[in-house]
Amino acid sequence: MDKYELAKRTGLNPTVTFPLIAGPYPAYTVGTSESQYDDSNSAKHKAYDLLTYMEAFKEADRSKWYVTWTEGAEQGIVFSIAGMALSIAQTTCNRNIFIFNEVPSYGHSISEAAVWVNRYNSSFYNGTECTCNVNNSCKQPIVILSYVGWFRGNPIPVRMGGDGLNYTADSNSTASPWMETLVYPENP
């Protein structure tokens, strides 16, 4: 899916290589303690050690850190999605942000992306045209990200934006509640 888009947008036909050893998936508890079933548990501790070594945090603050791990570049995509969603929340009325995906597609932890976005809720846009102004919630941590799948040949999906207007997933409006993740998260 990305090869076509990358070639179309850049004119390049890149070679993609993958590591021989895949990184761990996020925690799965299966009814017992996380430490038993978290594939990334040792990696989290290495990240703590590295951040301490880099003097990004003090050792005494270690218990306050939130470190998560996921497979390879997936975490980068999660943060790219979070970055685009934050940009949308800071420049538009949108708090329900939709990620347009042509199926079949691979999902990422958008709930984690929303957590990161909502940490910056004080910077969210709150214009008079925003429906969130009705209950004074524009600056609240209320961003929700949702995947919307689309199969070629079906109508392009439509969702309501935070200004009360409907937008198609291929809208050119900067007020659109949509982003896509084919190559880089973008709006629209």
CA distances from 92 to 29, 138, 139, 163, 181 (A): 38, 10, 12, 8, 19
Phi, psi of 75, deg, nearest 5: -65, -35
Q: What is the pLDDT of residues 67-114, one digit of tens each?
A: 665 555 667 788 888 999 999 999 999 999 999 987 766 667 788 899
More confident position, 174 or 74: 174
CA distance 39 to 57: 24
pLDDT at 6: 66
Give pTM, 2 decimals.
0.61
CA distance 113 to 74: 11
Q: Are strands 96-102 and 178-180 parallel, antiparallel or unpaired?
A: parallel
